Amino acid sequence: MPSHITHLECTLCGKTYSHREPMRLCPDDGKPLYARYDLQNAAKTLTPDALPGRAANMWRYEEVMPVERPESIITLGEGFTPLFHAGRLGETLRMERLFIKDEGVNPTGSFKARGLSAAVSVAHQLGLKKLTMPSAGNAAGAMSAYAAKAGMEAHVFMPEDAPSANQLECVAYGAQLNLVKGFITDAGKLSGEAAEKHGLFDVSTLREPYRAEGKKTMGYEIVEQLGFEVPDVIVYPTGGGTGIVGIWKALDEMEALGWIGSERPRMVCVQAEGCAPIVTAYREDKEFADPFPDPKTLAAGMRVPAAVGDFLVLRAVRESGGTAVTVDDDSMVTAVSRMAAHEGIFAAPEGGATLAALEQLLKSGEVGRDERVVLLNTGSALKYLDVLGPALAEAGKA
Ligand SMILES: Cc1ncc(COP(=O)(O)O)c(C=O)c1O
């Protein structure tokens, strides 16, 4: 079935653009562009009944994916990850309907595989040959892997304190690794300059339209795996925000496809106490977030002091009736070991953060113990052994 993509649309001003040209942010206001589809036509073939025979990866939703020529798809089997019923962990929390979507089993060990499979595939279709990006670590590993598969040149700009597994894998995949003194925002500046200077295409998160398209498939999968029902609550660890806004976009698309009604899960944005620009803006009732000074957390994926899609995350949280909370590094580490010991899932600290946040929200009563809750474990702990190992040892858990 072909893609039913029709155009790109600015998420702030609504201006539309062709998807057949390489595009990044809206040229008018510098905000992210979203891919839009003819969902009425897509609904004719993308039905719940059509899904069981399809490939067990994120391209099973091809009508609402942005690649028009199937031969351009660069896949390593990303997506269709398991949604586990967390029975033992649930018992300790007195919850019967707790689920964990385990993104750690994706190629390259994190949900970043989804976004980069989509972005690299579209870049390949558009004939682009050289890619660059700033990354906290996991996205760079994923881009490097997909670029290798596509035969494209990859340049990555990563803070020098990024987990060593991420640095190593980029080199192994043949990417050019540039370590940066500073934060991901500093890496972003250097990646942008390199793009200008050397004619590279910069696939920074939400600064090009297609990584969100890959990540939205987490939303499609959650609904499909719950028998075409939405959960009450989705808890998401937020850095750049593409994951949470992608899921939110998918829910609107699924309503237009007739898979679900107007019901929505409450979206919970989790950030680290040491880097919480979006939670701060949420608490201060702001539409956009101010940069967070001196960001510090061992969860590299959440060490993002400023995000171009901040207002989209805030919109999703507010429109869904959800909330935005912080957790400290110690509680993330304790949660990682609890998830591992009770469910056999060795989660990235970002995944641990979702469990720590849930515990907080159960205590405050903002989430009920009888509700159906999905935690997103966005990556594997195996990528973080250099930073997580000592923290687990200190907590007496390793
Ligand atoms: C494991 C992990 N979880 C969460 C995030 C944050 O993702 P997003 O940028 O979609 O908010 C990242 C980003 O690097 C990550 O690597």
Q: Which atom of ligand 1 is nearest to the CA of 135?
A: 14
Is 350's C-beta closer than 6 angstroms to any atom of ligand 1?
A: yes
Cα gap 346→107, rounded to integer Å: 16
- Is 201 strand, coil or helix? strand
Taking only the tens of pLDDT, the chain with its 398 residues reads 699 999 999 999 999 999 999 999 999 999 999 999 999 999 999 999 999 999 999 999 999 999 999 999 999 999 999 999 999 999 999 999 999 999 999 999 999 999 999 999 999 999 999 999 999 999 999 999 999 999 999 999 999 999 999 999 999 999 999 999 999 999 999 999 999 999 999 999 889 999 999 999 999 999 999 999 999 999 999 999 999 999 999 999 999 999 999 999 999 999 999 999 999 999 999 999 999 999 999 999 999 999 999 999 999 999 999 999 999 999 999 999 999 999 999 999 999 999 999 999 999 999 999 999 999 999 999 999 998 989 898 877 76
Domains and CATH numbers, the chain: 83-110+212-394 (3.40.50.1100)
Contact between residue 305 and residue 322 where contact means Cβ atoms under 8 Å apart = no
The pTM of this model reads: 0.97
Give the Å distance between the CA of 237 and the centre of ligand 1. Answer: 7
Is 238's C-beta closer than 6 angstroms to any atom of ligand 1?
A: yes
User: What pLDDT does residue 60 have?
Assistant: 98
User: What pLDDT does residue 1 have?
Assistant: 66
Token couple for 186: 């500093």
Give the Å distance between the CA of 1 and the centre of ligand 1. Answer: 31
Cα gap 135→165, rounded to integer Å: 13
CA–CA distance from 145 to each of 142, 156, 177, 241 (Å)?
A: 5, 12, 13, 22
Cα gap 279→244, rounded to integer Å: 14
Q: Which atom of ligand 1 is nearest to the CA of 215?
A: 10
User: What pLDDT does residue 205 have?
Assistant: 87
- The DSSP result for 268-303, as a single string, is EEEEETTB-HHHHHHHTT-SSPPPPSS---S-GGG-
Helix axes 329-343, 349-364, angle to 10 degrees: 100
Pocket test for ligand 1, best of 110, 114, 269 (most atoms within 8 A of CB): 110
